[in-house]
Amino acid sequence: MLRIAVQSKGRLYDDTMNLLAEADIKVSSSKRTLLVQASNFPLEVLFLRDDDIPQSVASGVADIGIVGENEYQERGENVQILSRLGFSKCRLSLAISKEVNYTGPQWFNGKRIATSYPNVLSKYLRQNGIKADIHVITGSVEISPGIGLADGIFDIVSSGSTLVSNNLREVEIVTHSEALLVGNWNLDDEKHQILNEMLFRFSAVRSAQDKKYVMMNAPKASVPEIIKVLPGIKSPTVIPLAEEGWCSVHTVLDEKRFWSIIAKLKDLGAQGILVTPIEKMIL
């Protein structure tokens, strides 16, 4: 049995539970239970505060954990990064009042900075030769400049709406963050086997994200040009149709490039273009 530490609430909790569900690992979503066992996979889920996850994995209370990179950097625990999961993306940034004339990082010399991430901030200040007074706050860091507690803040930024609502502006991005799967260094062979199966499932889920399965009918004479346009995983599948001179072409497209490619396909004579989402993709 493998034990994974997961954030007990918030966006990272939601994204993690969605990932487990898409990987067909069935876990009760009740937030009142500290430890829950999956019904169809040898996995126990331990729900913790996000800042407790790195230590729980390092100490062996949990075998693995999903945690924000911001907390991984701040805690500095001796755990290994097993995978970057690509969700819950944000950044750790310095922000100040909109009215202030900002002249660059050295503006923070002699200033007071409120933060919940003193270790990450201290490292940044040292690297840039800045001497500032760090005020450690747990909670609503963004209100600090407005009540005169600090000249600026160092905090998580996602959309930036919280900064705007508190009359702040982002002036320096110190580091980017995403969800990490971290692990204890001393997993036995049985737990490694379970972990490898989980990583395989996670990879299949991530590979399918933002991908579309596309099928179309096309004149046989246009197939060579159509194949040049299609950026398939290896090469498109081409199947002759009952109607002489026509083929069915199947491929996988990245959603970001979908519309520009579809327009080219139509110009080459493709018809009956069918687009379907991909749930899993094994590479």
Q: Tell me what percent of the chain is helix, strand and coil, each rounded to the nearest 5.
A: 35, 30, 35
Q: The tokens 């760090």 sit on which residue?
A: 134
Lowest mean pLDDT among 92-96, 236-240, 262-266: 262-266
| Alpha carbon distance 164, 49 (integer Å) | 27
Indicate whether 232 pLDDT > 60: no
Furthest CA-CA distance within the chain: 79
CA-angle at 180, arms to 144 and 29, nearest 5°: 85
Mean of the pLDDT values across residues 20-26?
93
CA distance 92 to 121: 9
- CA torsion 198-65-189-29 (nearest 10°) is -50
Q: What percent of the chain has pLDDT over 70?
A: 97
Residue 5's pLDDT is 97
Q: State how far the Cα of 18 lies from the Cα of 205, in Å rounded to an integer.
A: 11
**Mind listing the pLDDT tens digit for each residue in 8-19?**
988 899 999 999
Ranges of H-type helices in 209-257:
223-229
pLDDT of residue 72: 96
The SS3 assignment for 136 reads: strand
* pLDDT per position as a tens digit, 160-188: 899 999 999 999 999 999 999 999 999 99
SS3 194: helix
Q: What are the tens digits of pLDDT across the range 88-146? A: 999 999 999 999 999 999 999 999 999 999 999 999 999 999 999 999 998 889 999 99
Whether residue 256 is predicted with pLDDT greater than 80 in this model: the reply is no
Q: How many helices (H) and strands (E) does the chain have?
A: 8, 15
> ∠ CA(121), CA(98), CA(136), 5° rounding?
30
Structural domains in the chain, sorted by start: 2-86+178-207 (3.40.190.10), 90-177 (3.40.190.10), 210-277 (3.30.70.120)
Q: What is the pLDDT of residue 228?
A: 86
